[in-house]
Amino acid sequence: MVKLRAGWLEGRLTSASRAMTTATPLGRANLASCVQACAVHSGKLSRNPDQKRIRLDEAIAELISTYTRVLADPEKATVIASAKTTWHKELPEILEALLQVGSKAVDVGAPEEMRLALTITDTVLSVRDSSRAAWRLRAQVLEATGQDAEAIEAHERYAALVKDDGLGTAARIVGLKQSHERLIESIRLLQEESPAAQSFAGIPGIELWAEGGDLADHGQWEQAEPRLVAALAAMVEEGWSSTEIRSALADFIDLLLEENTGQLAASTRLFELYADHVRLKVREPVLDPLLGGTEPIGVSDFRNLVAGKTICLVANSQGAGNSTMGSEIDSYDLVVRFNSYQINPSATGKRTDIHATIHKHGFNWAEKVETRLVFGGNNGLWQQSMRRRLVPGAQRYVNDRTLRWPVRDLGMMGEDVWPSIPTTGFNMLYLLDFLDVNPKIDLIGFDFYDSGAYRLPAAMKLPITPVHGYSKEKEWVLARAQAVTDIRISLR
């Protein structure tokens, strides 16, 4: 016999949980009070073996250390003591440390950590309402706690502040709205199918749910069903979070499956609505699932596409950007460009046949190419980016997961062999070297950033990150080079 789960309901009865599952307006928080709240929370994390909590504790320790250093500087300490609302400008190191704590708190995901993250967003947004990071952090907290309307508002505030929606915020907003609509439609359908539920209108949801649950436990389903349906409707009217309502609806469906085993066909629409609600809550909709006819390709497909063709790989370097190689680059059968490449016809050529990019950034995804290869070390994040960033009709072919991370997956070079994160360029040239089907493979402008970066203006502010082993990649390339000039390295 199915029994109603009461864990979520018991949590609802505590003031702490109730504060996290009802509408949370943007509040004001003092910087000193916020840092103190973080310090107090750190004491609760002591000796906790959970890795996410350990990382949160480390972030709080860094915040406190930064805050202490600031207090030791008389001029900076005055900013805090006077409670100036410009502290985020004068003390950017504290702003960054606070947001890091908030991010790690969201990773933990427990109610106390979520409250801490909200306090941090209150603190930041009360002095800087144009903080993209704070609005995104707030949206994540509100979404996780089922406060859909407030989460949508926070997502919209974030989206209004960014030019490139690389994180798929617009689609996330659509998904949240549609998910909420399916949840409400599910309950309306139950009300239509249980007219007797109307007689319990006006009674608090908690009371009705407890009463209906007790009747169901004693086998009195005919009396329990209308009360439980009325309870679900009351939860909506009372503004319960979508997380709580979904838990209650899931319990109700479990009971329905047990009590009406001979009439399940009549419940098909309810199951469809509930499934859509859960799916849209977890994963935003894809407006064009077929991506304008884009075909996924694997290793063998890509091999067949490039076999027998001359190919050049153009680096995003000043060496390439200041060259006069444009017409020669365009003479190759295939031209490969990377990430945030910038076109300068006389220097870098006009054509792009293959765009190889890391999944994390959204540069040039809308530019039309024959093939787009998207690389990424984390399979989950890679899949998420493929859903959010691929532009329908912008490519004829896109790689599947067999081409997701060539150096690690095809080359079988783990971190013990290759400790640094392979660059997009190295993944691409390694793939071509591995396949070994091209009569000519030339690297143009591959000076491994000795000359500096040559990218789209919006990408120029991105650092040349030290997580990549440029010197090791250079050694690998030069060890296999057949010819080397100041602008060209020939692997074949």
Distance CA 15, CA 8 (A): 13
- The answer to whether residue 76 scores a pLDDT higher than 90 is no
Closest CA to 223 of 196, 186, 251, 191: 196
Can you tell me whether residue 487 is helix, strand or coil? coil
Between strands 395-399 and 295-297, the pairing is: parallel
Q: Please give the average per-residue pLDDT across 471-483, as a whole number.
A: 90
Q: Please give the average per-residue pLDDT across 326-343, as a whole number.
A: 95
Q: How confident is the model at residue 486 (pLDDT cuts 50, 70, 90)?
A: confident
Distance CA 277, CA 386 (A): 22
Between strands 334-338 and 483-484, the pairing is: unpaired
- Angle, alpha carbons 81-87-89 (nearest 5°): 155
Tell me the two tokens of residue 104: 């790690």
- The answer to whether residue 158 scores a pLDDT higher than 70 is yes
Distance CA 458, CA 253 (A): 50
CA 354 to chain centre: 26
This prediction has a pTM of 0.69
- Angle, alpha carbons 52-57-59 (nearest 5°): 95
Stretch (H or E) spanning 379: helix 379-389
The DSSP output letter for 204 is: -
Distance CA 336, CA 356 (A): 7
| Lateral strand order in the sheet of 395-399 | 295-297, 395-399, 369-375, 354-358, 334-338, 311-314, 441-444, 488-490, 483-484
Q: Give pLDDT, residue 16.
A: 41
pLDDT, one tens digit per residue, over 168-199 is: 788 889 999 999 999 999 999 999 999 999 99
Torsion sign over Cα 39, 41, 47, 50: negative
Residues 6+ apart with CB under 8 A from 265: none
Q: What percent of the chain has pLDDT over 70?
A: 91
pLDDT, one tens digit per residue, over 117-157 is: 999 999 999 989 999 999 999 999 999 999 999 999 999 99
403-441 in b/e burial notation, b at 16+ Cβ within 10 A? bbbbbbebbeeeeeebeebbbbbbbbbbbbbebebbeeb
Q: Give pLDDT, residue 463.
A: 65
Q: Give pLDDT, residue 15.
A: 43
Domains and CATH numbers, the chain: 25-144 (no CATH), 176-282 (no CATH), 292-490 (3.90.1480.20)
Residue located via tokens 């407030």: 150
Q: Give pLDDT, residue 95.
A: 92
Q: Give Cα separations from 304 to 21, 297, 437 (angstroms).
A: 54, 10, 9
Q: Please give the average per-residue pLDDT across 403-411, as a whole number.
A: 91
Q: Who has greater pLDDT, 166 or 46?
A: 46
Q: Is 353 left (phi over 0), alpha (psi -120 to 50) or beta?
A: alpha
Q: Give pLDDT, residue 7.
A: 55
Helix then strand then coil, in percent of the chain rounded to 5, is 60, 10, 35
Q: Please give the average per-residue pLDDT across 329-348, as a whole number.
A: 95
Residue type at 241?
Answer: S
pLDDT, one tens digit per residue, over 443-470 is: 999 987 778 888 888 777 776 666 566 7
Distance CA 241, CA 261 (A): 30
pLDDT, one tens digit per residue, over 382-394 is: 988 888 888 889 9
Can you tell me whether residue 218 is helix, strand or coil? coil
